[in-house]
Amino acid sequence: MNEDELVANLFRINQTKQKLLKDNVQGEKEAKDVHYEVGKKVRKAIADIGGMMLEEMPTPKKLERTRKRKQTIRK
């Protein structure tokens, strides 16, 4: 997980917690609904700002392949 993904996840978690407390949400289904809605809004904010969506971020495997390709080209 890179820094951007970590920050987005922490922000989503914190905002969900705050909404659950503020709205006195009771019950598992209601909590899941709040979690889902907050997640959608965080993703929308990232997209609106023009940030990289989490699924577009390179995975460790992709980063390793890129590193190996660059090493091969340098030789």
Q: What separation in angstroms does the CA of 35 have from each of 6, 32, 40, 72?
A: 17, 5, 9, 45
* Whole-number pLDDT of residue 19: 97
- Give the pLDDT confidence of 17-68 residue by residue, as tens digits: 999 999 999 999 999 999 999 999 999 999 999 988 888 887 778 778 888 8
* Whole-number pLDDT of residue 25: 97
Put simply, whether the predicted model's pTM sits higher than 0.75 gets the answer no
Q: Which residue has the higher pLDDT, 43 or 74?
A: 43
3 confidence band (pLDDT: 50, 70, 90): confident
The helix-helix angle for 28-49 and 3-22 (nearest 10°) equals: 140
DSSP SS3 for 58: coil
Cα–Cα dist 53/40, whole Å: 12
